[in-house]
Structure 1
Amino acid sequence: MVAHINGELVVWEESRLSFERLQQRLPRRGSAAVAAAAQWPAHFVLFDVLCLDGTDTTAWSYRRRRSALEVLCTDLQLQAPWRLTPSTTDPGTAFEWLDWTAAGLEGLCFTRLTEPYRPTGRTWRKYRVREAHDAIVGAVTGPIGAPQSLLLGRYDTTG
Structure 2
Amino acid sequence: MAPELINANPVVYQRKDRQSRVRVTAVEDEYAADPIDQQEIFDHIRDIKDPEHPYTLEELKVVSEEAIDVDDRQSHVRVTFTPTVEHCSMAALIGLSIRVKLIRSLPSRFKIDIQVAPGSHATESSVNKQLNDKERVAAALENPNLLDLVEDCLSKTYL
Which structure is higher in strand share?
A: 1
Query: TM-score scaled by structure 1?
Result: 0.25
Structure 1 or 2: more helix by fraction: 2
For the pair shown, which has the larger CA radius of gyration, 1 or 2?
1
Structure with more contact order per residue of length (Cα contacts < 8 Å, sep ≥ 6): 2
